[in-house]
Structures are given as C-alpha cells and as structure tokens.
C-alpha cells in the first residue's frame, strides 16, 4: 500500500508535483501514467525518501520510507536501469546491494536466475544492453521479497519477449497480493499491463480509475458517413435511434449504429452515400486528449473510484 497525500514538490519556480493525492493498493498492478515531465519520477523519488517533498506526505505501508530499517524487505524499486557501476559485474552489484539489507548470497543468485541473467552474471554491467540492465534492476528490486514494488519506466529498452515477460511478472507479483506500481508514458503498454491507472499531468492528478473503466469510456466507436443529402440522412438516422454529430467538413459522425446498418438505411430511402467509414478512437488518443494542454482546466474529468468526483 502506497499512500500519497497532498504531495507537492517545487524546484525553484517549477512545480513538479502539485497537490497530488492517491493510493496504490495491494493485489493490483497500478499504472502511473503521464507525459514526460508530468512528475512521475519526482513522485516516485519522494516516495523512496530520495527527494524531500515541499509539502504533503508519502507513506509506504503506513510509514515514511526513511523511517524503515532495511527497507528492501518492504519496498523494492527500480528507478533507473543505467544506475549501475559499469565496472562491476552483475553478481557483485547484486551482492553488494543485498548485503546492505542483510540479504544472503543464495537469494541474490536466485534473483539472477529468475531474471535470466545467470549466464552473464559475471560480466561487467557496463557492457550490458539496456534490456539486460532492466533485468538487473528488477533482480535488485526483488531481492528483499518486498510486498511493495515500484518500477519507473521498466519496459524501456526491452524487446518484445522482454516486455511480455515483465508483464507476466507484474501480474504474478500482484496476484501474490503485492502492491505493484509501474510508471510509463505509454498508454498502450499500461492498458495491457495494469488493471488500475493513475494518470497525472503537470504534477496534478487527472484520473484514478480501473483500467477497464477507462478503456470502456474512452474507446468510443463511431461511423463517418458523407452524403450530398446530409441533413436528410441525419434526421433519418436520429429517427432510428442513432446519435449524429456533424463534423466541420460536412461529414456525419454516427454512434449507436454500425456501418452496414447506416448503409442499409440510406439505401432504403434512396439517399446516396459517398463515404462510409467505421472508426474507433484509440485509447492513445483519449490519453493524449486528457493529458494535453487543456489538462489544467479539466483536472479530475474521467474520475473513477479514487474519490475524485465527477
């Protein structure tokens, strides 16, 4: 359980995190979404006690991170996969981190095996690909078998197989009842990997919602239709239960009726149709819309069960 309460962080004139409140619950993979610069990394660093907040609190398991003795047993984190000494081997890196929290060699070796790094464990991390470094970072995060896990952009640098592996790993970790908090700037990735979403923009909360609900309310389907008798067609469609929205270029955006039905209806009434296109707004589009420049004026719009009301 991670609880963030009215958290703010200012760097001089820049407000990186602005009154952010949310809770990350156990048993779920929670995606932390936002464009680059939205304040995700800063928030994660504050949760880990690396950065001091200007105001507000961040608690992990009910405690401030800095008050936890041997925190690797409570919280595992991966902030930056490149944060390894290039001259140190993967094994020795892992062992040195493990040792600081009283974690033994056997557990470290086990994590190397779990992340598939055993064959390269005695090679210097400086020669690793980003994907291999991500795996080493994940091995480090899992060292203490912690109930809370935080990953900042973990899929960066992973190949397709690696992404699939990490998605499965998150799912199994959350299925074990752990709190899994994963940041990303990619909506498409989080839609697959996370079952809950916390979306921020400019340091503020935009949405705190189950992924399913976000997808449902944002992946609208409609049909674009063009006709020389647009007005007649619009009236006809409306009369048959569809909703029609005129587009600026004269086309009609029809919802509540699929393309074949629109075509049949037009044909039955002798209305010529020049274009008939089924469309669906992508999740990515919806995400861009809510995190775009208008964000500041629409904070809290597609709210979920996070208590940020509609």
Partner 1 sequence: MTASEIRPARVAVPSLAVRARDVLGSEWAKLRSVRSTYWTLLIAAVTSIGISAAVALTFVTQPSAGRPRIDPLLPGFLSLEYAVVAAGVLGVLSFGSEHASGLIRTTFAAVPRRRAVLAAKAAVAGTVTLIAGELLCFASFFLVQAILSGKHLGVSLSRPGVAGAVLGEGVLLSVCAMLGLGLGAMIRHTAGAVAALFGLLFLPAIVGLLPAPWNDRIGRFTLVYAAQQVAALHARAGLFSPGLSMLVVIAWPAAVLLAAAVLITRRDV
Do residues 261 and 307 touch, judged by C-beta distance below 8 A? no
Mask 7-46, x = binds partner 1 (CB under 8 A)? ------------------xxx-----------------x-
DSSP characters over 155-213: TTT--HHHHHHHHHHHHHHHHTT-EEEEEES-HHHHHHH-SEEEEEETTEEEEEEEHHH
Binding of partner 1 by 88 (CB under 8 A): yes
Closest approach, Cβ 122 to partner 1, in A, equals 11
Binding of partner 1 by 92 (CB under 8 A): yes
Binding of partner 1 by 97 (CB under 8 A): yes
3-state DSSP assignment of residue 310: coil
Binding of partner 1 by 177 (CB under 8 A): yes
Binding of partner 1 by 172 (CB under 8 A): no
Closest approach, Cβ 300 to partner 1, in A, equals 25
Closest approach, Cβ 102 to partner 1, in A, equals 5
Tell me the chain's radius of gyration from C-alpha atoms. 24
Closest approach, Cβ 184 to partner 1, in A, equals 19
Alpha helices (H) along the chain: 40-47, 90-100, 105-114, 130-142, 160-175, 187-193, 211-218, 230-239, 259-268, 283-291, 295-298
Binding of partner 1 by 129 (CB under 8 A): no
Residue 84 sits at the vertex; the CA angle it makes with 16 and 184, to the nearest 5 degrees, is 40
Q: For residues 3 and 25, what is the distance between their CA atoms, to the nearest angstrom?
A: 9
Q: Quick one: which segment of 114-122, 138-146, 265-273, 289-297 binds partner 1 (CB under 8 A)?
A: 138-146
> Strand 275-280 vs strand 243-246: parallel, antiparallel, or unpaired?
unpaired
Binding of partner 1 by 238 (CB under 8 A): no
Closest approach, Cβ 249 to partner 1, in A, equals 50
Q: How many angstroms separate the Cα of 224 from the Cα of each of 29, 243, 250, 270?
A: 36, 12, 10, 18
Binding of partner 1 by 104 (CB under 8 A): no
Closest approach, Cβ 96 to partner 1, in A, equals 4
Instruction: Name the residues that contact partner 1, by CB under 8 A.
Output: 1, 25-27, 45, 48-52, 65-75, 77, 79-80, 82-89, 92-93, 95-97, 99-102, 140, 144-147, 176-178
């Amino acid at each position: 359980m991670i609880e963030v309460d009215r958290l703010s962080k200012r760097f001089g004139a820049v407000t990186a995190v602005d009154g952010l409140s949310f809770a990350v619950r156990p048993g779920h993979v929670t995606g932390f979404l936002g464009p680059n610069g939205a304040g995700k990394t800063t928030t994660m660093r504050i949760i880990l006690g690396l950065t001091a907040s200007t105001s507000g609190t961040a608690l992990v398991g009910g405690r401030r991170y800095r008050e936890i003795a041997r925190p690797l047993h409570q919280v595992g984190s991966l902030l930056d996969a490149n944060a390894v000494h290039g001259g140190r081997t993967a094994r020795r890196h892992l062992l040195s981190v493990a040792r600081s929290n009283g974690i033994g060699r056997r557990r470290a070796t086990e994590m190397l095996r779990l992340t598939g790094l055993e064959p390269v464990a005695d090679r210097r991390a400086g020669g690793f690909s980003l994907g291999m470094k991500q795996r080493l970072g994940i091995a480090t995060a899992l060292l203490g078998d912690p109930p809370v896990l935080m990953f900042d952009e973990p899929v960066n640098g992973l190949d397709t197989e690696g992404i699939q592996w990490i998605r499965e790993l998150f799912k199994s970790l959350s299925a074990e009842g752990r709190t899994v908090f994963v940041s990303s700037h990619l909506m498409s990735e989080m839609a697959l990997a996370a079952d809950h979403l916390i979306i921020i923009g400019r340091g503020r909360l935009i949405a705190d919602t189950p992924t399913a609900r976000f997808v449902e309310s944002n992946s609208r389907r409609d049909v674009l239709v063009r006709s020389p008798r647009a007005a007649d067609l619009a009236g006809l469609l409306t009369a048959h239960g569809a909703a029609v929205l005129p587009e600026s270029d004269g086309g009609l955006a029809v919802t509540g009726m699929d393309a074949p039905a629109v075509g049949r209806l037009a044909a039955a009434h002798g209305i010529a149709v020049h274009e008939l296109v089924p469309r669906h707004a992508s999740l990515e589009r919806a995400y861009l819309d809510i995190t775009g420049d208008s964000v500041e004026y629409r904070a809290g719009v597609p709210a979920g069960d996070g208590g940020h009301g509609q």
